[in-house]
Structure 1
Amino acid sequence: MTGDESYFRRIVDKERLAEYLAAELGSADEYEVRHHQEGHSNETLFVTWGDEELVIRRPPPGETAEKAHDVLREYRVVDALQGTDVRVPETILACDDHDVLGSDFYVMVREDGDVLRDDEPERFATPERRERVGYELAENLARIHAVDYEAVGLEHGDFGYPPGFTERQVERWSEQITWAMEVTADEREVSELYEVMEWLQTNVPEDPPATLVHGDYKLDNVMYGPGDEPEIVAVMDWEMSTLGDPFTDLGWMLSYWWDEKDPAPPSATDTLSSTFMTREGYPTRRELVARYEELTGFSYDNDRFYRTLAVYKLAALGEMFFRRYLEGNSDDPMYPKMRKGVPALAERALRIIDGEEPL
């Protein structure tokens, strides 16, 4: 048995899944399960069930940090957003019976289109369509932040608690780093993260707006439809969603959006840092912010903090990935790269703090 086959069997029992789907959806003549390995957090399975093309989301195997990989929370928000202006896949089932897959999971309809992860589709390779790719991204973030969250059942105090959210973000991601370093510190230290931690703790902006927050909004967490004109058909990966500071979403999106003036991303983080949006026609970060501000009426005044926080969170994720790799709980080839990737991210956060990577 290869490592890939062994890991696949850890995340899905095909016979038990088939029994569950047959009980919930009816029998099917065709059944196939494939592991989609493009993401780096929750596991994604593509399932053919008769004429239906489905997606299953489940957490990775093994111990995870507290509150990470909460797929039923992800299901709740995607289900709540059905029928709103936010473009999300159609939800079908949610399951908390661990006898099926060994974890919580949920099922949704598979959308058709392209995720722009490593490059642009050929049909978008004109200045006009590249511009539209960028503005679609900013406009759909504005749609998320315009949702009347209580009206769709995502109540204040239940789904999230906006007061103090930004300060808690710094605290939470610091705790995630500490959790990961219980194991990773035996391999190598990343002392720069403590400098970033201290700066963030003393520079939290006061009184930001309160909205629905996606928590992981970026170019490769949306899907563009198959047509020639760029249009987002689905926003995915809602596991970190909550109610809070919308600028944490904006800063996160911008941290992945490279401008021509930026230094090249370090090779240790190349799997996290596509740079094709530096080509002619793509909007700059400043232009994306201007479009977002125009649609929301918000003023994004603390970019240095929010992009630093974004890179700090990415470093925390990288350190958690590295711990999972060291403990044998992932077959993702990106995870071992975080031995050098996290120190590179910590250095980037310090460059943003020092004004060396401006908006």
Structure 2
Amino acid sequence: MVAELNTVTDDAYFRRLVDVDALRSYLETELGPESAFDVERHPAGHSNETLFLTWGARDLVIRRPPPGETAETAHDVLREYRVMDALQQTPVPVPETVLACDDHDVLGSDFYVMSRVEGDVLRDEVPERFADEESRHQLGYELVDTLADIHEVAPESVGLDEFGHAPGYTGRQVERWGKQLAWAFERTTEKRAVPVLREVGDWLAENAPTDHPETLVHGDYKLDNVMYAPESDPNLVAVFDWEMSTLGDPRADLGWMLSYWRDAKDPDPAIPELETTFMERSGYATRRELVERYEERTGIEFEHHRFYRALAVYKLAALGEMFFRRYLEGNSDDPMYPLMEERVPALADRAKRIIDGDEPL
């Protein structure tokens, strides 16, 4: 029986993402033929592409890089698959892994397939069932407790003992993101320069802790990369977007998570289109309370917090600048990307405020 494809495929960008016939043929070979077949692009997210896939009675998700040239080491979806596959039987909640493919004849890139998880990813607002103050507080604790679960996994117990080189991770992060920025600047400085980012990078290089804890790290752990179950009490059921995961310094993960968690006293968001603000309301845990919870759970002290928080914003600025380059080169239709012309300088200013102590924990 011919598979029924309901998705509109005459959109040029969608056709760059999916060769429908090649995908169908691949799935038939790997999973067996099915009559129901549908694929559509999920618009959320601004890095790797997410596609919702129906294959027979199964609701699946495909993750693949954006089309076009990407910075070295960015968009590594097979790395994402590997760590999720390793964590299947651990306390860390991850979707069920299904397939990984490195044959570029199928979609023109590496990609993987996982099961779709039902629940809520919290971006602009929270469901009404989380409106009471107890649920608000628990929502933040669920987020930080799951981060603690990630950091408490023994890498050797799940086959990830060679997943990265933990010693020197923090300094390498500064160097790596500096290189990502340099890649973006090759193109973006034709439009405008961001000299404050170079100042921030120099400070980070001079102040990177040389002695740090060593654990599995997620690399992009934040509120909209997790999902809460469709139940009355906040219950975190899935962690997504593992492409940056490795062995390294867990405090970098905490700093990244905190860079997205706002307190009522904070200045206006540097990227209002991306930054969630509902946790500024009464009842939500403050950043300091989340740090205290994390320290209690893990026994790891959040020392050098200015460094880790500034590093997080520096990395976010580098991502934004890479997005801006992709926009300038015509390799994305994401409406967020052109906004980075102004948003990245605002992020640079925020990182400088953190370094100077003007945006405290």
TM-score (norm 1): 0.97
User: Counterpart of 2:263?
Assistant: 259
User: Counterpart of 1:315?
Assistant: 317
Match of 2:156 among 122, 133, 150: 150
Match of 2:144 among 138, 142, 148: 138
- Residue 3 of structure 1 and its aligned partner are, at CA, apart by 11
User: Counterpart of 1:12?
Assistant: 18
User: Counterpart of 1:240?
Assistant: 244
User: Counterpart of 1:222?
Assistant: 226
Please give the per-residue CA displacement for 1:266-285, whole angstroms capped at 9, x wherever unaligned.
4xx11221111111111000
- Take 2:34 and 2:318, find their aligned partners in 1: how far apart are those partners? 42
Please give the per-residue CA displacement for 1:3-49, whole angstroms capped at 9, x wherever unaligned.
98110000001111111111111111211101011101000000011
Q: In the comparison of the two structures, how many residue pairs are matched? A: 354
Match of 2:97 among 84, 91, 96: 91
TM-score (norm 2): 0.97
What one-letter code is carried by the residue in structure 1 that aligns with 2:279?
A: M
Equivalent position SS for 2:30:
helix
Are the equivalent residues in 2 in contact too, given 1:222–1:234 (CA < 8 A)? yes
User: Counterpart of 1:328?
Assistant: 330
User: Counterpart of 2:300?
Assistant: 298
- Take 2:18 and 2:347, find their aligned partners in 1: how far apart are those partners? 33
- Take 1:90 and 1:4, find their aligned partners in 2: how far apart are those partners? 31
User: Counterpart of 1:274?
Assistant: 276
Root-mean-square deviation (Å)? 1.1
Please give the per-residue CA displacement for 1:301-357, whole angstroms capped at 9, x wherever unaligned.
111000000000000000000000000001111000000000000000001011111
Match of 1:112 among 118, 126, 151: 118
Query: Is 2:26 the partner of 1:24?
Result: no
Are the equivalent residues in 2 in contact too, given 1:254–1:285 (CA < 8 A)? yes
Are the equivalent residues in 2 in contact too, given 1:4–1:331 (CA < 8 A)? no
Equivalent position SS for 2:311:
helix
- Take 1:4 and 1:164, find their aligned partners in 2: how far apart are those partners? 48
Match of 2:288 among 278, 286, 289: 286
- Take 2:296 and 2:286, find their aligned partners in 1: how far apart are those partners? 15
Match of 2:195 among 191, 199, 204: 191
Equivalent position SS for 1:277:
helix
> What are the ranges of 5 or more consecutive residues in structure 2 without an aligned counterpart?
1-7
- Take 1:349 and 1:3, find their aligned partners in 2: how far apart are those partners? 42
Are the equivalent residues in 1 in contact too, given 2:251–2:302 (CA < 8 A)? yes
User: Counterpart of 1:175?
Assistant: 179
- State the identity %: 68
User: Counterpart of 1:55?
Assistant: 61
- Take 1:3 and 1:252, find their aligned partners in 2: how far apart are those partners? 37
Equivalent position SS for 1:271:
coil
- Take 1:108 and 1:120, find their aligned partners in 2: how far apart are those partners? 25
User: Counterpart of 1:73?
Assistant: 79
- Residue 175 of structure 1 and its aligned partner are, at CA, apart by 0.4
- Residue 111 of structure 1 and its aligned partner are, at CA, apart by 0.1
- Take 1:226 and 1:122, find their aligned partners in 2: how far apart are those partners? 11
Please give the per-residue CA displacement for 1:182-212, whole angstroms capped at 9, x wherever unaligned.
0000000000001101110111113110000
> What are the ranges of 5 or more consecutive residues in structure 1 without an aligned counterpart?
none
User: Counterpart of 2:167?
Assistant: 163
What one-letter code is carried by the residue in structure 1 that aligns with 2:118?
A: D
What one-letter code is carried by the residue in structure 1 that aligns with 2:24?
A: A
What one-letter code is carried by the residue in structure 2 that aligns with 1:123?
A: R
Equivalent position SS for 2:207:
coil
Equivalent position SS for 1:22:
helix
- Take 1:233 and 1:4, find their aligned partners in 2: how far apart are those partners? 35
Match of 2:206 among 202, 207, 229: 202
User: Counterpart of 2:358?
Assistant: 356
User: Counterpart of 1:123?
Assistant: 129
**Runs of 4 or more off by more than 3 Å in structure 1?**
none
